[in-house]
Amino acid sequence: MSELRDHADHVLSVVESGSAAARSRLAASWRRSLVRHGVDPAADKGPERLSATELDHLLQSNDGFVRSATPRVDSLYALVQQSGFAVLLTDAQGVVLQHRVSDGDADVFAKWGLWSGVNWSEEAEGTNGIGTCLEERCRVTIHREDHFMARNTGLSCMDAPIFGPEGQLLGALDVSSARSDQTQGFNQLISAMVEQTASQIEVDYFRATYQKARIIYVGDAGKEGALLAVDGDDLVVGATRLARAALGLPSEGSLRPIPAVDVLGRPKESPKGFEGAERAAVVRALSRAEGNVSAAAKALGIGRATLYRRMKRLGISEKTH
């Protein structure tokens, strides 16, 4: 009990002081935990848990998200299970939807609350990997004494947020360890893996949501999560969070269908208006017909002679395909 009290006293002294440490990002989370949420850092009560019925309802309401995430959660766990980690997937409120732990570690992790149905929001547990990640909407590592509540200081938690097809916060992906020899360097490696997996989940869920659309990568090649969904009329109907940021689209919410050319831009010399649309249609038809004018005319529903006249007017040769 003295260790709990010592950590709690340290947290309170940092929050109440005017030092540089009190102005740090971690201390800001400690202050939220204390002032906004009224969490007692010395409390020794167990974590909040949903009933089986409540968890079942929560899983049903997050069914699409969970189905898209499950293969990636399994793959991540396969990489870290031999090192004694737990892998958790949560909803946007910090409630664990899925957990992956080894049979040998199950009792230990269940006692810690690293289990499905447990609430790890900052409001419930103070500063912790899941809750702070969701609060700040960015990747975080909360290592042992970084935790607000003294009873959680045996944990090291690496987390990344997961955003949905409309840019909304869906939940967090967490890898946690209760090993006393866990190092900060190893935490950094695991944290990078968690962030990458969270990004992959976003891509998978986006693709599942827009199965009938054409998916286009935008922005830097390294940002694989920057995707647009384009329908058969070349209208952008969906965009991931990274794509929205890259293209200046609304950060969250459903998108009003926008012509893809308005989002992605067009060459300066490209004609606009009806003439531009007509030229694009003719060029696409010729390309699909591999330069065969008769086949292209048939695809466009016009006569061969009519197509030749339009090609001449638009400055398109038979080799423009």
CA distance 26 to 7: 15
Q: What percent of the chain has pLDDT over 70?
A: 91
Q: Using 50, 70 and 90 to split pLDDT, how confident is the model at 157?
A: very high
Q: Across all residues in the chain, what is the average pLDDT?
A: 89
CA distance 165 to 228: 10
What's the token pair of residue 51? 């009933």
More confident: 281 or 66: 66
Q: What is the pLDDT of residues 57-109, one digit of tens each?
A: 999 999 999 999 999 999 999 999 998 999 999 999 999 999 999 999 999 99
Q: Residue 272 above 80 pLDDT?
A: no
Q: Residue 319 above 70 pLDDT?
A: no
Q: List, in sequence order, every residue forming a beta bridge with 48; answer none if it has no partner.
A: none
Question: Per-residue b/e over 129-144, b at no fewer than 16 CB within 10 Å?
Answer: bbbbbbbbeebbbbbb
Neighbours of 241 (CB within 10 A): 26
φ, ψ dihedrals at 216, nearest 5°: -120, 130
With beta carbons less than 8 A apart as the criterion, state whether 166 and 241 touch.
Answer: no
Q: What is the pLDDT of residues 113-137, one digit of tens each?
A: 999 999 999 999 999 999 999 999 9
Q: What is the pTM for the complete model shown?
A: 0.83
Nearest to 229 by CA among 216, 246, 247: 216
CA distance 129 to 105: 20
Total length of the chain: 321
pLDDT of 275: 73
Q: Using 50, 70 and 90 to split pLDDT, how confident is the model at 19?
A: low
- Expressed in percent and rounded to 5, the helix, strand and coil fractions of the chain are 50, 15, 35
More confident: 177 or 264: 177
What's the token pair of residue 2? 């003295």
Query: Residue holding tokens 């009792």?
Result: 107
With beta carbons less than 8 A apart as the criterion, state whether 77 and 100 touch.
Answer: yes
pLDDT of 262: 82
Q: Residue 220 above 70 pLDDT?
A: no
CA distance 261 to 263: 5
Query: Residue holding tokens 């970084």?
Result: 146
What's the token pair of residue 170? 């869906």
